[in-house]
Amino acid sequence: MRRYWIVGSIPFILVFVVTWLPQINGPHLWFGAPAIFVWVTFLSGIPISGILLYFELSRKDLDDEGDEK
């Protein structure tokens, strides 16, 4: 259970750190959007999808078809 908390908290820690970096949280645009928005999307949206996949694949209470036992 502890590893789920550690792995699941990674995107939230990354988003918190990104907001304090002056190179990212500045008045410049990336792809027409503020740089902080682009970085938060990359550092939270993409890793959260991977972490949810990790949680799903690491469940032991599923049978071969994905149904609960």
pTM of the model: 0.56
Contact criterion met (CB below 8 Å) for 9 and 46: no
Question: Which pLDDT does position 3 carry in this prediction?
Answer: 74
Residue 65 lies inside a defined structural domain of this protein: no
Counted residue by residue, the chain has a size of 69
Instruction: Give 66's DSSP letter.
Output: S
Q: How many domains does the chain have?
A: 1
pLDDT digits (tens, 9 = 90+) for 13-31: 887 888 888 877 778 888 8
Question: Which pLDDT does position 28 carry in this prediction?
Answer: 82
Residue 35 lies inside a defined structural domain of this protein: yes
Residue 62 lies inside a defined structural domain of this protein: no
CA–CA dist 23, 47 (Å, integer): 21
Residue 45 lies inside a defined structural domain of this protein: yes
User: CA 37, 8, 48: angle at the middle one, nearest 5?
Assistant: 40
Extract the residue ranges of the chain whose pLDDT is less than 50. Answer: none
Supply the range of the domain harboring residue 35. 2-57
Closest CA to 40 of 67, 16, 68, 64: 16
